[in-house]
Amino acid sequence: MIAFIGLLLFIQGAEAPYKPNDEFEVKIDVQVKARPYLPGDSDPKIDFSLNKDGFPDSKRKSGYLPHLTFNVKFLKLSEGEVKVRITDASGSTVYHKKAIEGKLIRLDAGFIKDIKDGLVSGEYHIVLLSGKKKPSSRIHIFIHRDGTYYVNDVLCGKF
């Protein structure tokens, strides 16, 4: 029983600490882009009406919408931070490359309406890995359904 509790404490403590705010910057880039037409679309306008379930039916309509991209830059890398791995809320790897100080990483988040509607992921985990592939620090980006977004659990704004 004691070994089991010890294992649980070890697993919970395995999560890397947040990277200090002065060692990175996350900037947003919002551009109006054309949303691709889907097969069967007859009207290129966006329909903001509700579907049979009472939710906005934005999956089936196209048009021009605000598109969100996060620009992440590491201003300072700690000793041993050699790789960057970015995953979304589902655990899918979005980016995995060598960590380079000053290099801009463009993280395409998608259309803001889709993020608010929950059609695409609004959560990203940026983990800096050591040479032994162990997490050394992390950055957490989260967009709530009401449009507020957080970086490392700090409110940064609202869309």
Upper half-sphere CA count for residue 80 (Cβ side, 13 Å): 8
Report pLDDT digits (tens) over 108-138: 999 998 898 888 899 999 999 998 999 999 9
Q: Are 84 and 129 in contact (CB under 8 A)?
A: yes
Q: What does the alpha-carbon distance between residue 42 and residue 112 come to, in Å, rounded to a whole number?
A: 23
Predicted TM-score (pTM) of this structure: 0.76
Residue boundaries of the structural domains of the chain: 15-158
Pick the CATH number of 15-158 from 3.40.50.10860, 2.60.40.10, 3.40.190.10, 3.40.50.620: 2.60.40.10
Q: What is the mean pLDDT of residues 6-15?
A: 47
The answer to whether 57 touches 91, Cβ cutoff 8 Å, is no
Residue carrying structure tokens 């791995």: 85
Neighbouring CB atoms inside 10 A of 129's CB total: 20
Looking at the chain, the whole-number percentage of residues with pLDDT higher than 90 is: 58
Q: What is the pLDDT of residues 58-90, one digit of tens each?
A: 454 567 889 999 999 999 999 889 999 999 999
